[in-house]
Each structure stands twice: as C-alpha cells, then as structure tokens.
Chains A and B, each alone.
Chain A
Amino acid sequence: MLSLVIDWGVDMKSRAAVLHGIDQEWQVQDIEVDAPKAGEVLVEWKAAGLCHSDEHMVTGDMVPPQEAWPLMGIDDLWPVVGGHEGAGVIAEVGPGVASVAVGDHVSASFVPSCGRCRYCSTGRQNLCDAGAGAFLKGMVTDGTSRHRIADGGPELTLLAKLGTFSQYSCVAESQVIKVDTDLPLEAVALVSCGVATGWGSATNRAAVAPGDTVVVVGIGGIGINAVQGAAMAGARHVIAVDPIEFKREKAMEFGASHTFSSMEEALPQVMEMTEGMMADKVIMTPGVMYGDLMALGTQLAGKGGTIVVTGVAPITQTESSVNLFELAMWNKEIKGTIFGSLNPRADIPKLLNLYRDGQLKLDELITNRYPLAEINDGYQAMRDGTNIRGVVVHS
C-alpha cells in the first residue's frame, strides 16, 4: 500500500552566523532548519543588513539579565542566530499561508504584524502584540522551535525571530512582506529596519513639518535616514551631529544643512541659527543611547520641542539626565519610538516606491558588502565607524 508520508523532521542545513554569548565573535557554522508549519514560511535570505541592534547582543546592551530570564520565560537565551534586517525569496510555505507564495520576494519585518491585535487594529503595527516573546526560542505561531545547531545541537534563538544571518530560516508569515521583484534585495533589506526606523523617527514620530529646525544626534544607519526623512518633510535646517567626519560628510549628501562633531559644539550654533528658539525636533540616534546624552539632547530642543529617542539604550540602564524643570516649564516632550512608529505592511512598500521614484536614497547607504564568512570584519568596521551600513550578501 502506497502512503504519502510528510516528513516534518529535519529538512535542511544552512550556514548561519551564531553568537554563543556576550563579548564573543560571530561563529559561522551549520544549523538545522525544520520545514515550515502552519502560518510559517521558509525564506532563503539574499541580503542582510549589519544593524547596530545585532551588535547590542554582542555587547550585552540588549541582552536581558540572566536573573530576569525566568520571568520572561527564557530557559537559555544562547545560542543566537543574528540578523533582523533582511530580504530574500520564499523557498517553501506552510499550510494556511495566503499572503506569499514560493518564489515571492519578501522583506523581513523585525516586528510581526498580526493584523488583529489592539495595536495592529489601530494603525500601530510596530507595537503588535505578537512581538512579545522576542527572546524565546519558539515560533510566533505555536511556541515550538524550528532551528538548532547542526547534528543535534541546542535549539537556537533567532534575533527578532528572523535570523537573517542564516542562509535559510523559518519565520512566521506575519514577519514577511511581499515586495516587487524588480527591486534589488539589498535595498529591500535596508528598508526593513534601519531606513524605516530612521525615516519614520523624523517623518512620523517627530512629525517634522516644513520650516522646522531638526537636530539628528548620531549618524549611523538610523540617523542618516532620519536626516533623509527630515529633509523630505521640508525641514528648514537639518543639523547632523556625529564625531566621525566621514559620517558628517555622508549626512550632507543625504540632506543635512549643517553638521557638528558634538552636541556641545552644536548647541551655541543652533542657538545662533534659530535666534535662540532652538530646535523644533531633536532625534536621538546614537549607536548606544546612554542616559547622559539626554542632558544636551533636551537642551537642543526649544520651547514646545520634541525629543525622539530611537537609539537602543542598555537594557538595564534606568537613569537619564533630563532636567525635569525645563521639560515642564518649556512644555517639551520626549517620545520613544520603535521602527520609527511606522506600519511595516504599509510603509515598507511605500518607502520602496519612493526609492524606485528616486526620492529615497538606498544604494548610497551601503558602504561595504561582506560574504557571511566575513561577518566579523563587517562588525569591526561598524565599531571603527567606517560603515554607514554594511550588508551581508548570502551566496
């Protein structure tokens, strides 16, 4: 008797960059990836951005302290497949997947968008409830894992449940967004996190308006796109602050009107150019959002000004230097943002359309490309400040 057997066991091996603990290097090694179950897809990643949030795992800034793991339901955080900025091609779809088919090009979305929770329902997909449990090994769908170190090794956590530093990974349908096939996948990868986060921090969360004076503090992969968004939203002055000359030069190419190497240097100049009124919007996009940066960050904003905090702070940091007297008396506001407060399903395609129209620069963001095997070189370049964005190109 002939029977059709579906094998839900180990389906394939994949090369992946894995982090085994804080302060270690990325290990490029084989992992096992199971076939997608209901509501899941197998993606062949083609390009992955080297974002600072992955580096935050290495430094430990984004690693929950071990004593908090039981509360968070984490047995063991490690090992972790990195990468949450990516674009690829759908290799296989599980049962019930409707929005993508095999062969479709997709953007990753580091926050899922279930489309059904309170936040998705009110136009805030960046806060989708399905994003909870980001540090758990189980899938968004059924809580079980599809990835482990090759040859029966431990189960893996995938950064943002994506793991784009793997050639293949199994992810929830709610974390992939179909994009047009004429778009270069490197460009799509950049939009999936850094570009949207920076751009939206300016256009959406800070709500930069024509005539505004805007200061962007920190010109990396996020800040450069906040500069780009602020310029597109019609800001009168776009002031970029970064200690590295190369990044200041890049900022001018992306629409900055002025650059300074520090907030200390910027402060008197912003005062001068605004006749003492200071900035309408200050966008904080440093590599690491240390609390003491807020002292000058808030001073750069004028009366009624908005300070948007986009950069990732050390997870255990609880203090920041804000003069609360001035915050109240000058009616300032401090706003946090994840993903630039955008909606991945609406805004990733929208940004890619702007790119296709020539209204959004993406190609110019890429400073260097690396094969997966050289990923540690890419992160060293980030630490050295020589990359706006490095991109892993999977072979």
Chain B
Amino acid sequence: MQTKAAVLRDIGQEWSVETIELDPPKAGEVLVQMKASGMCHSDEHLVTGDLAGATSPMPLIGGHEGAGIVMEVGPNVTGLEPGDHVVFGFIPACGRCPSCASGHSNLCDVGGEAFPTGRQISDGTARHHTADGEDLGLMCLLGTFAQHTVVHESSCVKIDKDLPLDRACLLGCGVVTGWGSAVYAAEVGPGDFVAVVGAGGIGANAIQGAKLAGARVIAAIDPVEFKRETAMELGATHTYASIAEAMEGLGDSTWGRGFDKVLMTMGVGNGDALGEAFHLGGKRAKIVVTNIHPTVEPSMAVPGAFLTLFEKQIIGSLFGSANIRKDIPQLLELYTQGQLDLDTLVTNTYSLDEINQGFEDMRNGKNIRGVLIYD
C-alpha cells in the first residue's frame, strides 16, 4: 500500500513528507494506522547527528512515540487483532532474552541488536520503501511519523479503547522515561529533596513522578520561563534558571544538605553540565542520567573524589528503567484517576505536513511536547 511519511535523508536536513510504499506485515508483525505521535527530542537527535550510529541508517522514517489502531496482523501474531488500540514501546520487549527475563525489558537484547539496522526484527528486511523503491529504516523500529507503519508485535502494548490516543502516545517514550527516572531509577521516596535539570518532555514527567512518590522539595531547573511555569503547575516547589542559580539556592531549597536525587533531563546532555549538577547532590545522592549525551562525547567532568567521599551514585537510565507492558497501562490508569497529568504536557498539535514547524517550535523552547495528529 501507499502511505505518507516524514523521511530524513541526512544529518542537518529537514524532514521530507512524502508518499512511500508499505509492504504488508510478515510473521509476528502488524500494520498500524497511526493516530498520534509525539515529537521527542530523540528524533531531533537524528537531525543533529547526536545519535549517529545508535539508530537506523539514512534514509529513515522518524518518530518513536506513537499510538494507533491495528489494521492487519501477520502470521503468528498472538496478542493483537485488527481494531486493537496500541501504544508503541520505543524499545521492543521480546519477553525472552536475559534482560526481559530479569525485569529489564527496557534493555531488551533483541531491540539492542536491531536498533542500528532500522530493519524489522523478524527477518532483518525493510517493509517501508521510498517511491523509487529504496529501503527506508525506522527510528526505534517504529517510524511513527507516518500515517501507517508496520512494526513487530514486541513493540506494541494493547490499551483500552476508551483512552484518548493523542494522550496515550506520550506513554511510548517521554512520560514513562521521565516518570520512571524519578520513581524507578532514582527511587524517590517520601520526604526526599529532588532536583530536575531540564523541564521539557522528560523533565516535566520526572517532576510528576517525584511528586507522586512524595518528594518534599522538587526543584526544576530550566532556562525557559514557560517551562519553569509549567513545572510549578506539575508539582515543582522551586524553580531556577540555571544549575548555578540552583547551587546558590541550596540553603533555601535543601537547608544546605544538597539534593537526595538529581535527575538529568536536558534536551542534550553534556559532560560539563553533568559535572556541575553533580555538586547539587548531597551525601549518598543519586544522580540519574536520563538525557542523551552525544554518542561521540568521551568524558564527563565529574570530580571523582566526591563520588567516593560523599558516596554519590551516578546512574544511567533508559526509558526510566521501566517495563512497557507493566508501566504503560499503569500510567494510563493513573491518568484516568487524575494522578498523572498528560493534558498539560501537550502544548501544540500539528499535522504531518507541519512537522518541521513542530521541531522548530521545540528548538525555540515553545513546547513541552508537540504532538502530530493524523486524520
């Protein structure tokens, strides 16, 4: 079949919205009609080259935060049928590898191997092709910047049909990543002092997670005033425009003890900022690195002595150390119950044709989250 998709051909280029050829699903795969897709900073990392080598070769279809409706299932699909509503997990969960089997499906081995190829898990070939017949790779094996896509069953989480797909799509990446960074990776507990560095699509949800977990103080650090304001709406107790400003405020925010948990959720991580934020942490602080550093960055400016002397811990976290099949449905339940705010997160919506405007707004700090809505 033919469908429309946003294709990236090289680093530094714009997204090209064009008609593509889509093959039917093979064994274990499903054809999904997309209803909504979040525009996440990781897609922007494809454009800047920060993720070079870690995901699909060009040309590729972007997008990894999506929700839609199953239209057709290939052979051997057991958990889904046409008409099912699904949210994609940006990392598939095979359920069988050592990582999945030990409760860490966010580190699924199958996903890890297939990611850099951008091709289907099932047989390593492409279902998506340009009008000229050139194979297209998929961001995170998904390609949600398209009206239709074919993905493996392992990437799909079935959800109740009464849930709004333009909100549910955010559970595929940003919401769970931020929320889980606070709840699972940092293990925020009642009474904790928490700093969230960067209050975008990830940080906003780290704030929500920290709040629900009972944090006493939540300091949101972001240079953009609009994001600081949104942070307060979502549960922050203090805001600062920079890490340096937050350092000066440590007496006020933590009575000088430093934060118990520091969550790094900036647009792009960098070793110097991490070194600076490291000092926000108090004794035994957990510093969680959720934001993506450029893959070529070789070092971070962390003073090792204080790692030892104050027993600080630096913890990397992918997808908030969460599990798609447990956490996507659970967070949607929390949304239904009013314990998780998804509505405030969506700043602007765009059609697929407006995708470049959406990313321009992200670069300009106008969006907590921009969402593509498909007809």
A184: Cβ under 8 A from any B Cβ: no
**Using Cβ atoms and an 8 Å threshold, which residues of chain B touch A232?**
190, 214
Q: Does A371 contact B (CB under 8 A)?
A: no
Task: For B213, list chain A residues within 8 Å (CB).
Answer: 209-210, 233-234
Whether B339 lies near A203 (C-beta < 8 A) is no
Q: Mark A332-360, 1 if CB is under 8 A from B, else 0.
A: 00000000000000000011011001010
Question: Given that A236-B334, A354-B191 are contacting pairs, would A359 and B212 also be in contact in the complex, using a CB cutoff of 8 Å?
Answer: no
The residue that A211 contacts in the complex, of B214, B216, B330, with Cβ under 8 A, is B330
CB within 8 A of A353: which of B189, B216, B339? B216
* B residues in contact with A229, CB < 8 Å: 190
Is B337 on the interface with A (CB-CB < 8 A)? yes
Annotate B325-340 by CB proximity to A: 1 below 8 A, 0 otherwise.
Answer: 0000011011001010
CB neighbours of B189 from chain A (8 A): 203, 233
Q: Give B160-184 interface residues, CB cut-off 8 Å to A.
A: 179, 183
Q: Which residue of A lies closest to B333 (CB)?
A: A236
Name which of A199, A234, A351 has the most chain B CB atoms within 10 A of its CB. Answer: A234
One digit per residue, 1 when the CB lies within 8 angstroms of any chain B CB and 0 when it does not, for chain A 203-242 equals 1000001110000000000000000010011101000000
Chain A residue nearest to B339 in the complex (CB):
A236
Across the interface, which residues of B come within 8 angstroms of A234, CB to CB? Answer: 183, 212-214, 339
Any A CB within 8 A of the CB of B282: no
> B209 contacts the other chain (Cβ, under 8 Å)?
yes
Interface contact B190-A203, CB-CB below 8 Å: yes
Contact B183 A210 (CB under 8 A): yes
Give the residue name and chain of the B residue nearest to A351 (CB): B191
A211 to B337 CA separation, bound complex (whole angstroms): 11
Given the interface contacts A209-B183, A210-B212, A353-B216, does A233 sit within 8 Å of B190 by beta carbon? Answer: yes
* Cβ contacts under 8 Å, A354 to chain B: 190-191, 216
Count chain B residues whose beta carbon lies closer than 8 angstroms to a beta carbon of A: 16
CB nearest neighbor in B for A211:
B330
Can you name the residue of chain A whose Cβ is closest to the Cβ of B183?
A210
Residues 252-303 of B contacting A (Cβ, < 8 Å): none
Closest to A203 in B: B190
Compute how far the CA of A211 lies from the CA of B214 in the bound complex, rounded to whole angstroms.
12
Q: Which residues 75-92 of A have a CB within 8 angstroms of B?
A: none
Whether the pair B214, A203 counts as a contact (CB closer than 8 A) is yes
Known: A232-B214, A236-B339, A350-B191. A210 touches B209 (CB 8 A): yes
* B190-224 CB contacts (< 8 Å) to partner A: 190-191, 209, 212-214, 216
Q: B179 to chain A: which residues have CB within 8 Å?
A: 210
Q: Are A233 and B214 in contact (CB under 8 A)?
A: yes
Question: How many residues does chain A have at the interface if contact means C-beta atoms less than 8 Å apart?
Answer: 16
Q: How far is the CA of A172 from the CA of B183 in the complex (A)?
A: 39
Chain B residue numbers with a CB within 8 Å of A350 are 191
* Contact mask for chain B residues 305-339; partner A; CB cutoff 8 A; 1 contact, 0 none: 00000000000000000000000001101100101
Cβ contacts under 8 Å, A351 to chain B: 191
Q: In the complex the two chains form, what is the Cα distance from A353 to B253 in whole Å?
A: 13
Chain A nearest CB, measured from B208 CB (Å): 10
Nearest A-chain residue to B214, judged by Cβ:
A232
A359 adjacent to B216 (CB under 8 Å) = yes
CB-CB under 8 A from A199, the residues of chain B are: 190
Per-residue contact bits, chain A 232-262, to B (CB 8 Å; 1 contact, 0 not): 1110100000000000000000000000000
B contact residues around A236 at 8 Å (CB): 330, 333-334, 337, 339
Contacts of A191-211 to chain B: CB distance below 8 A: 199, 203, 209-211
User: How far in angstroms is the closest Cβ of chain A from B330?
Assistant: 5
- Please, how many angstroms separate the alpha-carbon atoms of A357 and B254 in the complex? 13
CA distance A229 to B214 in the complex (A): 9
CA distance A199 to B331 in the complex (A): 25
What is the minimal beta-carbon distance from B177 to any residue of chain A, in angstroms?
A: 15
Contacts of B339 in A (CB 8 A): 234, 236
A101 to B298, CA, bound (A): 55
Distance of B196 from chain A, by nearest CB (Å): 16
Mark interface residues in B213-244 (1 if CB within 8 Å of A CB, else 0). 11010000000000000000000000000000
CA distance A350 to B216 in the complex (A): 10
Smallest CB-CB separation from A204: which chain B residue? B189
Give the Cβ gap from A291 to chain B, nearest Cβ, in Å.
Answer: 31
Nearest residue, chain A, Cβ from B337? A236
What is the CA–CA distance of A210 and B180 in the complex, to the nearest angstrom?
A: 10
Nearest neighbor of B212 in chain A, beta-carbon distance: A234
Q: Considering the chains assembled together, what is the distance between the CA atoms of A379 and B211 in angstroms?
A: 38
Q: Which of B8-57 contact A (CB under 8 A)?
A: none
A354 to B189, CA, bound (A): 13
Min distance, Cβ B230 to any Cβ of chain A, angstroms: 20
A348-393 residues with Cβ-Cβ distance < 8 A to B are: 350-351, 353-354, 357, 359
Which residues of A sit under 8 angstroms from B337, Cβ to Cβ? 236
Scoring A232, A353, A357 by chain B CB atoms within 10 A of each residue's CB, the highest score goes to A232
Chain A residues contacting B209 (CB-CB under 8 Å) are 210
Instruction: Quote the shortest CB–CB distance from B186 to chain A (angstroms).
Output: 12
In the complex, A199 Cα to B189 Cα: how many Å? 12
A166 to chain B, nearest CB (A): 32
Interface centre among B214, B330, B331 (most CB of A within 10 A): B214
**A277 → B minimal CB distance (Å):** 11
* A156–B179 alpha-carbon span in the complex (Å): 54
Complex CA–CA separation, A233 to B215 (angstroms): 8
Query: Nearest Cβ distance between residue A88 and chain B, in whole angstroms?
Result: 25
**A359 to B214 Cα, complex, angstroms:** 9
**Distance between Cα atoms of A350 and B193 in the complex (Å):** 12
Closest to A237 in B: B337
Smallest CB gap from A232: residue in B: B214
How far apart sit A254 and B314, CA to CA, in the bound complex (Å)? 36
Report how far A359 CA is from B337 CA in the complex, Å. 21
| B183 proximity list for chain A (CB < 8 A) | 209-210, 234
Q: How far is the CA of A203 from the CA of B216 in the complex (A)?
A: 14
Cα A353 to Cα B214 with chains together (Å) = 13
A210-B209, A229-B190 are contacts. A357–B216 as well, Cβ < 8 Å?
yes
Shortest distance from the beta carbon of A211 to any chain B beta carbon, whole Å? 5
Known: A203-B214, A357-B216. A211 touches B334 (CB 8 A): yes
Nearest CB to that of A210 among chain B residues? B212
B10 CB to closest chain A CB (Å) equals: 42
State in angstroms the CA–CA spacing of A234 and B211 once bound together.
8
A359 to B218, CA, bound (A): 13
Q: Known pairs A211-B333, A351-B191. 13 more at Cβ < 8 A?
A: A199-B190, A209-B183, A210-B183, A210-B334, A232-B190, A233-B189, A233-B190, A233-B213, A234-B212, A234-B213, A234-B214, A236-B337, A359-B216
Interface residues of B (CB under 8 A from A): 179, 183, 189-191, 209, 212-214, 216, 330-331, 333-334, 337, 339
Ordered by A's residue number, 14 sampled pairs between the chains whose C-beta atoms are within 8 Å are: A203-B214, A210-B212, A210-B213, A211-B331, A211-B333, A211-B334, A232-B214, A233-B190, A233-B214, A234-B212, A234-B213, A236-B330, A353-B191, A354-B190
Question: Which 6 interchain pairs have the tightest Cβ spacing?
Answer: A234-B212, A232-B214, A210-B212, A232-B190, A203-B190, A211-B330
